[in-house]
Amino acid sequence: MENNKFENFSCPLPIPLNGQVAIGHGSGGTLTKNLITSVFYKYFHNPILDAGNDFAEISAKGSKIITSTDGHVIDPIFFPGGDIGKLAVAGTVNDISVSGAIPKYLTASFIIEEGFPIKDLDQIAQSMQQCALEADVKIISGDTKVVEKGKADKIFISTAGIGFLKNGLIINGSQAKPGDAVVVSGTIGDHGISVLAARNELGFSTTVISDVAPLNNMIQSVLALTHHIHVMRDPTRGGVATTLNEIAMQSKVNITLDEEKIPIKKQVHAACDILGFDPLYVANEGKVLFILPEREVSTLLKALHAHQYGKNAVVIGSISQSSNSPKVLMHTRIGGTRIVDMLSGAMLPRIC
């Protein structure tokens, strides 16, 4: 070394992160803290979260507590009408809401693939916050893990939710009674078809956008006007057919649908025809099925039609009878009858 002088020691400069999530972001150290502060706290902050604990404290005030948890994986993570963030918030909000409870708090856990762009993470967190704001829920604790490149597909988000249920309200899948009507809050299959098209693998494009939305406000406005709703459920994966089969089994009843009345967008119908799918099995993320006594149907429809997410609500069938071998039947458009079975395994496109 020249002149017997040491050069200034310095650590090798870390390679700039280029706006990507690095393994270190999941270390639990400073990088993790930076990521959490710069992305998640920016959007989610509230007194409970800001306390900075690994737990969150809430008080119940004499109501029943309803919890639900849901893992969200979707390809692509951004799709027309939403993204994985909105899906993660709305999905859990809706699962709690269909019990009749008012969702209040969410926790969120992120598993992120190394190299994931931070600007995308920012966009996801922002849309989570927008959805939480609309649903009036707070994200009160969270966790972030980063896994090596290739060990996860971009980002997975698990959310858990807590809601409060007014004592005395009993709404669940085993309450369907013969004579009840079946109402769906709008067109079916929009989410599944828009995501499928967004994958760009099938060589078709569509103007259909996902219906992903938090439904708690609509559900609460319905509950304010009706008094005897027996079942509410959001027909997500497996679609309306699978959800109604679950309800039929839980309540030990037969459900009869009227094909002509099932609301399906023309574009969704066309896409399903081409791809060999049945819209009854395609996922929804912003729809609810209601089962309730016939006499309350007009009140329900009035409440739904007044809400942006329930404009196309319509009666699609009825609970035909109690049954020890519960099934879902459908009066077809041409006047026949057929069974509507559950989805078995993955939905596979047909060859011709």
Partner 1 sequence: MNKTYTYQNPDLIKRSLDTLSKILTKKWAIMEICGGQTHAFMQTGLSGMLPDEIELIHGPGCPVCVTSLELVDKAVAIASSENVIFTSYGDMLRVPGSESDLFSVRAAGGDVRVVYSPIEALQIAENNPDKEVVFFGIGFETTAPSNAISVIKAEERKISNYSMLVSHVRVPPAMHAILSAENNRVQGFLAAGHVCAIMGLAEYFPIAEKYHTPITVTGFEPMDLIRGILETVRMLEEGSTSVVNAYKRVVSPQGNMQAKRIIDQAFVECDRQWRGIGMIPMSGWKLNTVYAQYDAELKFDVENIKTHESEICISGLILQGIKKPYECPAFGTQCTPQNPLGATMVSSEGACAAYYRYGNI
Point out which residues bind partner 1 (CB under 8 A).
201-203, 275-276, 329-339, 341, 344-345, 348-352
What are the angstrom distances between the C-alpha of 125 and each of 24, 28, 154, 158, 332?
A: 20, 19, 14, 13, 44
Give the three-state DSSP class for 76.
coil
Question: Which CB sits closer to partner 1, 72 or 327?
Answer: 327
Question: Which CB sits closer to partner 1, 260 or 294?
Answer: 260
* Shortest reach from residue 155's CB to partner 1, in Å: 23
With b for 16 or more beta-carbon neighbours within 10 A and e for fewer, the 166-181 pattern comes to eeeeebbbebbeeebb
Whole-angstrom distance, CA of residue 52 vs CA of residue 47? 9
Question: Which CB sits closer to partner 1, 86 or 265?
Answer: 265
* Residues found in the chain: 352
* Shortest reach from residue 289's CB to partner 1, in Å: 21
Question: Which CB sits closer to partner 1, 7 or 201?
Answer: 201
Q: Where are the alpha helices (DSSP H) in the chain?
A: 30-35, 42-44, 47-50, 84-97, 118-135, 190-198, 216-225, 239-251, 266-275, 297-305
Question: Which CB sits closer to partner 1, 156 or 277?
Answer: 277
* Shortest reach from residue 147's CB to partner 1, in Å: 18
* Shortest reach from residue 336's CB to partner 1, in Å: 2
Per DSSP, what are the bridge partners of residue 113? Answer: 147
Question: Which CB sits closer to partner 1, 61 or 266?
Answer: 266
Return the closest-CA partner of residue 98 out of 255, 191, 229, 250: 229
* Shortest reach from residue 241's CB to partner 1, in Å: 10
Task: Supply φ then ψ for residue 289, to 5 degrees.
Answer: -100, 130
* Shortest reach from residue 246's CB to partner 1, in Å: 16
* Shortest reach from residue 126's CB to partner 1, in Å: 34
DSSP secondary structure string, 22-58? -GGGGSSSHHHHHHIIIIIIHHH--HHHHT--SS---
Question: Which CB sits closer to partner 1, 202 or 306?
Answer: 202
Question: Which CB sits closer to partner 1, 57 or 201?
Answer: 201
Q: Which amino acid is it at 170? A: I
Count of CA atoms in the C-beta half-sphere (13 A) of 236: 17
Q: Is the dihedral of CA 274, 76, 136, 289 positive or negative?
A: positive
* Shortest reach from residue 338's CB to partner 1, in Å: 4
